[in-house]
Amino acid sequence: MEKTKKNLIKREAQEEVFTKSLSEKNIYLVNGQSGCGKSTFFLNFFEEKGFNFIYIPLTTEDVDPVNFFNKINQKLSVLNGNYDLPKLTVEMLFSLDIFTKKYFEELENKVKEVMFIIFDDVQNIKESKESIKIIKTLLSMNLKNKKLIFLTKEDLFIPYFNWEVERKIFRIDTNFFRFTDEDIKEFFLDTKKKNLTDWEIENILHSTEGIIGKILITGEKSFHSIRKNLEEKLLSIISEDDIKLLCYFYNYPIINEKNLSQPDEEKRKIIDILETLNFENLFVKKTISGFKLHDLLKNYLSMKSKEFFRSNYKDFIREKAFNLYRSGFIDESLELLKSINDFKSISAILEENIINLIFEVKVYSTQKYLSYLKETEYINHPLFLYAQGYLLKFEKPDIAIEYFQKSLEIFQKINNTSGEKLVIGELFDLAQFYGEDFEIGGKYLSRAEELINQSGGNFSIEDIRLISYMGIIYLLYAGNSIKSTYYFRLLNKFLKDNTPFTSYIKIYGAISLSAAGEFVEAEKYYEEAKQIYETIPKNPNDVFMFNFLTSIYETFTGRFRESVERIRSTLEYTRAWGLTVHEEHMITRIVESLLCLGKTKEARIYLEEIEKLPYRTSFSKGMTYQLKAQMYLIEKNYDLAVESANHSIHLFKKINGKMFVIPTKSLLAVAYIGKGLYDKAEKILNEIIDWSESAKSYLQKFTSLIHLSYLYIQKNDTEKLKHTLNEALKLGKEKKITAIYNQYPELLKKVLNTAVSLNIHTDYAKYLIYIHNLSDSKKPKVKIYTFGNFKVTVNDNEIVDWKGEKPLSLLKTIVALKGENIPVDKIINIIWDGYDYIRAKQNFEFTLRKLRKILDDNSKNIIILKNNRISLNKELVWIDLWEFDELYSELEFLLNRNKLNYLKDTEKFQKIKSLYKGKFLELEEDIWIDPIRYNFDEKFNKIRKFYDGKTN
């Protein structure tokens, strides 16, 4: 915790007032003159009372939000423990108020040992609208276990007050700290008895700002004579050169903790001068922040500096600016150079630092420094053009592309390959997420390949970023699975560290490999990505990226329910963090998975939400039309399906997105089949199949072969059907494909059931029917009832003898954890807590064998153990909580959008009521089940409240 010297006057009255306020207020605004004793009072009070606190002195650098939050994290890092607080990313800057709120909520929950946070010198960040937004957000918060204290020399907060904020804030001004003249006189009379040193007396006077104290120290009554005496005393202690150095350091920049914490030779000399003045009682006070100068000394130095800086001013400032820069003070250095209009030097310093500033997310600082060069020729340096593009990529991607292209042209002219890689990578990223034209990425692919080949395998950070984007663009723009998988496999050899970036690349690799039909290898990448993600700290944008990409992979592999649940929870999470820049991508993922499950009602509502979003590119509109085509197919509205598919194809062609044109054409062909236009459909599908073979895009080939098989079923062309169906299922079985693009459940069901009836790759066809729940036989073998009394039946016979407690405990644990993809180690930690791992694992395996025997699961189809994760087979098992959750999701979705219809949807509510026979696992007393039980209660009561209200 912070340390400070004890104050010499016991401010008992002030302490009493402040102590009383602690039970009533959580936010304190302290506006007081310089030197009135604000910091000293609070630091001494908390230290004496034994309160844990962190003290954060703010400087002008902290106008940058990244510096502000980094400073808090640095202060917390000296405490015991890693608090894993979120880091500010570029995407979060667009919702800084939300990030601030969520950050301090997490800080309150995770950092239990700190009660007080003191922000000192808040006036230093008043110039930044971002910083003011942070402070304004903090003033409006209702923190329960943390108290925030803002110390400032100016009343900065009045414009942000309203009655609600005002009534929860405790205000303190200079008068709170001031002693009366009588107090001071009495104190000085008393010092004779206490034998206090002059320094100790000045320590008190520094807090008073009273003229009586100044007169007592100097014996003079006018400021002029005080200054004269001060100058004489100064020159009797230090030289004029020392005064000149002190003037410089006071003015550029002001003495603070940061400057003195990393002293170079010049700063050590300053410290020596200050120590000398401090020892000689010349109005200098040593504090935890460095040195404080009395106002008299500040005024003197300010006047004296004007005399010194008249001669050789620019050379002197330039020298000092570069001294500061070499010591790591870029902000102060650039401010000095700006004051003398030395744009050449500013450009030279920025050239060395601009990339780091961007990657450290110091957007405010980057914008400020670039503004210094705005009206000069230096602003057209390729790195600065790149930086300007980067700052605009999220808000104005089209303008960002222009900056990137200008930057790239210059880098190519001067043969700067590192710069080329940097900019091409950004153009690829824009093409992937934000731009209007995939061709922007596509036209630089050949140059990117040249640059990577020139690296000779010695890859820099720029190379690795560029390779990752190349893998993505080859897939999206060219639809070239061979090239895409090549680059992701290449990256996989080099990325061995556990970082969010590595997890993204592995998921992208899994997506690319699945598109190529390499599903075994894709699953390996997917599992590795999950393992990395589970072990690393997660920022909000990392949570979005991992879950967004994972949902794409889940869609490619037929895990549509998992994809819907993942993105629903991720969408809620990112909205809470204000990550609206990604909202459309996530809603699109939900819609696609819902349609693959045949749920058009929910999908339609989400599509309406997408169309209301403010900024939409041709890509996003193309995706919406593609999904509409899929929805209309399911609803058998073939005319609208054709219309939507054509709109989608037009938009995707406009932006050169071949990866998206091809699946939409396949949907168009299915719509033509529905309209009976078989020749048109057959021509389209055969063209796609030929292209897919040449591009080695086997998932697309499989999809179109399935669609072509459906065409031959509708035409009753048995000979072509058998040939095509055999080719499709042979390919799918060989590549272990588990889904098709834009899955149409009824179509897939008809094709697979036909394959079974014709005895064509029957095992594989039945497997696909099973995993997509397309069977006509819906009666499960095992039924599990969890609400009220726990009951299990096998073939309608209730299990009574569980052969001991452990098999029953194992099944209840699997069910309570939702019965899907549960890590075995998680189950072991619950049931065999306290056992050594080897013995616990043996007990688990033994108990699992017993449970399988009880459930008549000799073929191991009911309880599936794969990759050290356990699941219950939904084809053979029914659980009341699964049905409850599915019904609840549908009703809650409609309720939250005011679309729940009391009459139309009442049947679903009655079903939920019939399922909810009592509390979840009512007789279980394990504490870990309580939150799950409470969650189901909350869900049921939320829906019941709506229906009870309508009934009344």
Separation of alpha carbons 916 and 905, rounded Å:
17
pTM of the model: 0.72
How much is the pLDDT for 180?
Answer: 54
Crossing angle of helices 223-237 and 295-308, in 10° steps, is: 70
Burial status of residue 931 (CB atoms within 10 A of its CB: 0-12, 13-18, 19 or more): exposed
Give the mean pLDDT of the chain. 82
- The secondary structure of the chain in percent helix, strand, coil, rounded to multiples of 5, reads 65, 5, 25
**Average pLDDT score over residue span 472-493:** 84
**Average pLDDT score over residue span 781-786:** 92
Burial status of residue 777 (CB atoms within 10 A of its CB: 0-12, 13-18, 19 or more): exposed
Return the higher-pLDDT residue of 659 and 640: 640
CB atoms under 10 Å from CB of 590, counted, come to 24
Cis omega (within 30 of 0) for bond into 614: no
* 64-78, 175-189, 251-265, 311-325: range with lowest mean pLDDT: 251-265
- Please state, in angstroms and as integers, the Cα–Cα distance from residue 935 to each residue in 401, 941, 948, 949, following that order: 47, 10, 20, 21
Separation of alpha carbons 345 and 338, rounded Å:
9
How much is the pLDDT for 778?
Answer: 62
How much is the pLDDT for 625?
Answer: 95
Cα 127 to the center of its chain, rounded Å: 27
Is the separation of the CB atoms in 808 and 794 below 8 Å? no
Is the separation of the CB atoms in 892 and 939 below 8 Å? yes
Highest mean pLDDT among 227-231, 348-352, 734-738: 348-352
Residues paired with residue 791 on neighbouring β-strands, in sequence order: 785
Return the higher-pLDDT residue of 168 and 212: 168
How much is the pLDDT for 178?
Answer: 64
120 closest CA partner among 187, 160, 75: 75
Separation of alpha carbons 163 and 847, rounded Å:
63
- Please state, in angstroms and as integers, the Cα–Cα distance from residue 246 to each residue in 321, 585, 635, following that order: 15, 57, 80
515 closest CA partner among 486, 475, 477: 475
- Could you report the per-residue pLDDT of 139-168, keeping only the tens digit for each? 888 888 888 999 888 766 555 555 556 677
Residue 801's φ and ψ, nearest 5 degrees, are -95, 110
Structure tokens at 907: 């049947």
Structure tokens at 73: 């994290």
Separation of alpha carbons 711 and 714, rounded Å:
5
How many Cα atoms occupy the beta-carbon half-sphere of 781 within 13 Å?
12
521 closest CA partner among 284, 735, 303: 735
How much is the pLDDT for 235?
Answer: 83
Residue 285's φ and ψ, nearest 5 degrees, are -125, 130
